[in-house]
Amino acid sequence: MNLIDGKAISAQIKQEIAEEVANIKAAGGKTPHLAAVLVGHDGGSETYVAAKVKACEEVGFKSTLIRYEDDVTETELLACVERLNNDTDIDGFIVQLPLPKHISEDKITEAIDYRKDVDGFHPVNVGRMSLGLPCFLSATPSGIMELLKRYEIETKGKHCVILGRSNIVGKPAAVLMMQKGYPGDCTVTVCHSRTSNIKEMCLQADIIIAALGVPEFLKGDMVKEGTVVIDVGTTRVPSDKTKSGFRLAGDVAFDEVAPKCSYITPVPGGVGPMTIVSLMKNTLLAGKKVIY
Ligand code: GUN
């Protein structure tokens, strides 16, 4: 069993990005600038946004954090998006989700200029990804592809079973794993909460991407010997062993599944650290203005 070390790979990629940023600056180019919009005080969102801002510092980007209280109106938030769209110093920006219930996430996402949509959530970017055209790829699937590449894991002709059909992980991961080339060229099966024979499907998989958000869903008797398992689960569960009072639980029963795998990602330290690096990669791309 080989452990896929997302922490080490993400540190390596951050270093590569930092070197490129230093070269851009040395040549008199513009420092890439990411803005993040954070609404309210959700604990998870606060943590994620703080990590994004810190990553910007580490690679040499400029970053701006814009905060609103929970009672911000949709109109105010749309006006903020419009300002950021028109701000020529901002290369890319994100609006951290989830948003309060009175604000339409779809409306906000669609209002973002797709050329600054470094989350890759805008329909133009999702559509372009499906067509295999240049675009901003959403962070988690992009991070998974990068891990497969860096570990030189064979994907051609393999059966990839994806657990979960979310717009930000399951669906885009299915598209990328079936696309022509490497990583890709897989036969893909997408399973979800209404799939009746998930165990049977998983037992046929060469690669499993678990993105259901159900802690320890994938058990040892659901995988065959030699499977590659990518665990995208990050459910916060209470814990008396951590200072924060919670720990992150993956979708994979790691102790049972790991001994059967050829490769497996841990939680934490697998896919998680890669998502921020994907955002940094997209911001660098946005700074270069190559997506138009
Ligand atoms: N909430 C959870 N993940 C993400 C993400 O990748 N981007 C944004 N904007 N919000 C999120």
Pairing of strands 62-68, 33-39: parallel
Q: Backbone dihedral region of 132: left (phi > 0), alpha (psi from -120 to 50 degrees) or beta? A: left
Query: Which superfamily does CATH assign the domain made up of 27-120 to?
Result: Leucine Dehydrogenase, chain A, domain 1 (3.40.50.10860)
Burial of 282 (0-12, 13-18, 19+ CB in 10 A): buried
**How far apart, in whole angstroms, are the C-alpha atoms of residue 289 and residue 9?**
26
Q: Is the CB of 139 within 6 Å of ligand 1?
A: yes
Q: Residue 44: what pLDDT?
A: 86
What percent of the chain is modeled with pLDDT above 70? 100
Q: Is 96 a known active-site residue?
A: yes
CATH 3.40.50.10860 range(s) for the chain read 27-120
Task: Return the ligand 1 atom nearest residue 138 CA.
Answer: 6
Q: Is the CB of 65 within 6 Å of ligand 1?
A: no
Q: Is the CB of 169 within 6 Å of ligand 1?
A: no
For 252, other C-beta atoms within 10 Å of its C-beta total: 31
Q: Is 52 a known active-site residue?
A: yes
Q: Is the CB of 96 within 6 Å of ligand 1?
A: yes
Q: Is the CB of 119 within 6 Å of ligand 1?
A: yes
List, for residues 223-263, the tens digit of each pLDDT value: 999 999 999 999 989 999 999 898 999 999 999 999 999 99
CATH 3.40.50.720 range(s) for the chain read 139-273
Q: Among residues 195, 188, 272, which one has the least CA distance to residue 235?
A: 272
What percent of the chain is modeled with pLDDT above 90? 98
Three-state DSSP at 50 gives helix
Pairing of strands 246-249, 235-238: antiparallel
**How far apart, in whole angstroms, are the C-alpha atoms of residue 229 and residue 264?**
5
For 109, other C-beta atoms within 10 Å of its C-beta total: 21
Q: Whose CA is nearest to atom 3 of ligand 1?
A: 97
Burial of 147 (0-12, 13-18, 19+ CB in 10 A): buried
- Single pTM value for the model: 0.96
**How far apart, in whole angstroms, are the C-alpha atoms of residue 173 and residue 15?**
26
Q: Which residues pair with 33 in a beta bridge?
A: 62
Q: Which two tokens stand for residue 55?
A: 């990553």
List, for residues 113-165, the tens digit of each pLDDT value: 999 999 999 999 999 999 999 999 999 999 999 999 999 999 999 999 999 99
Q: Which residues pair with 207 in a beta bridge?
A: 160, 228
Q: Is the CB of 161 within 6 Å of ligand 1?
A: no
Q: How confident is residue 105, by pLDDT bands cut at 50, 70 and 90?
A: very high
Total residue length of the chain: 292
Q: Whose CA is nearest to atom 11 of ligand 1?
A: 97
List, for residues 2-38, the tens digit of each pLDDT value: 999 999 999 999 999 999 999 999 999 999 999 999 9
- The catalytic position among 119, 206, 231, 251 is 119
The CATH architecture assigned to 139-273 reads 3-Layer(aba) Sandwich (3.40)
**How far apart, in whole angstroms, are the C-alpha atoms of residue 199 and residue 178?**
21
- For residue 100, report the distance from its CA to the centre of ligand 1, in Å: 14
Q: Is 179 a known active-site residue?
A: no
